[in-house]
Homo-oligomer: A and B are copies of this chain.
Amino acid sequence: MKAEKPALFTALSPALLNLYDVSSSIVVIIDVLRATSTIATALHNGAKGIIPVDSVAECIRLGKQIEGITAGERDGLIAEGLSYGNSPFEYPAEFIGGKTLVLTTTNGTKLLHMALDKGAKEIVTGSFPNLSAVCDYLVAMKMPVILGCAAWKDRVNIEDTLFAGAVISRIKDHFHINCDSSQMAETMYNDAKEDLYEFMKSKNASHYHRLSRFGLEKDIRYCLTVDVANILCLYKEGKLIKQPI
């Protein structure tokens, strides 16, 4: 029985993604603070779709072309020339409902394009706000999985690792896991799960530090909250859409 389970791997940084066979796998793009949390929230709040692009210039060009909302950040701040940032609180239903968002971020959208270029079989985005939807989908699909952490400029980060660990702790019985990174992620999550926010703070996580300087504690708390925007975000025909599960 054991051998028949699909494999699950965790890539702790985009620089490690090429070690895994994405072409036969579902790749889960994880950028907890804040891209994939914002994606889940905007789709949950009724956005028609989210087009991830990998440069600010492309974001501006495409935003004009399709009359979409341009959004994104570089180094944690709204990128110059774009209208909105990367905070989930910028996208309530009354604003984003029925609209298309064109989004570019430092790490998350970059990793998504990397997975795409390498021929990933399926791509979804994952975050604590849609943890259950991601887990249910991965279990239902019975396919190999790569949990892809967006990290920070290729440097491994705690929050994306914690999310990978949260997924693993929920679905590990359905997968064959021979991957130390996955074991590490789950160990970290088990240490942190009582209070993810306090864990991040106590470990002086670099990204916690970076965002809290900008006064974004509220964002951090939201991005560590489970299932508050619990929908599946599937990449299909060039955009992320809300997928019924």
Contacts and interface: CB of A to CB of B under 8 A. Distances in A.
Interface of A: 12-13, 15-16, 19, 152-158, 161, 178-181, 183-184, 187-188, 191, 203-207, 209
B203 A183 contact: yes
A151 to B, nearest CB: 9
B155 A183 contact: no
24 contacts: A12-B12, A12-B156, A13-B16, A15-B15, A15-B16, A16-B16, A16-B155, A16-B156, A19-B154, A155-B179, A155-B181, A156-B184, A157-B180, A158-B180, A158-B184, A161-B184, A178-B206, A179-B206, A180-B203, A180-B207, A183-B204, A184-B188, A187-B191, A188-B188
Given A161-B184, A184-B184, A191-B191, A155 B19 contact: yes
B180 A206 contact: yes
A90 to B, nearest CB: 26
A15 B205 CA distance: 22
Contacts of A183: 158, 203-205
A157 to B, nearest CB: 5
A191 B156 CA distance: 20
Given A16-B15, A187-B203, A181 B209 contact: no
Nearest to A209: B178
A30 B183 CA distance: 19
Nearest to A154: B19
A45 to B, nearest CB: 30
Contact of A205 (B154, B155, B180, B191): B180
A19 B181 CA distance: 19
Contacts of A188: 184, 187-188
A80 to B, nearest CB: 26
A124 to B, nearest CB: 23
A178 B204 contact: yes
A186 to B, nearest CB: 9
A161 B155 CA distance: 15
A181 B156 contact: yes
Contacts of A180: 152, 155-158, 161, 203, 205-207
Q: Which of A152, A161, A184, A205 gathers the greatest number of chain B CB atoms within 10 Å?
A: A184
A224 to B, nearest CB: 15
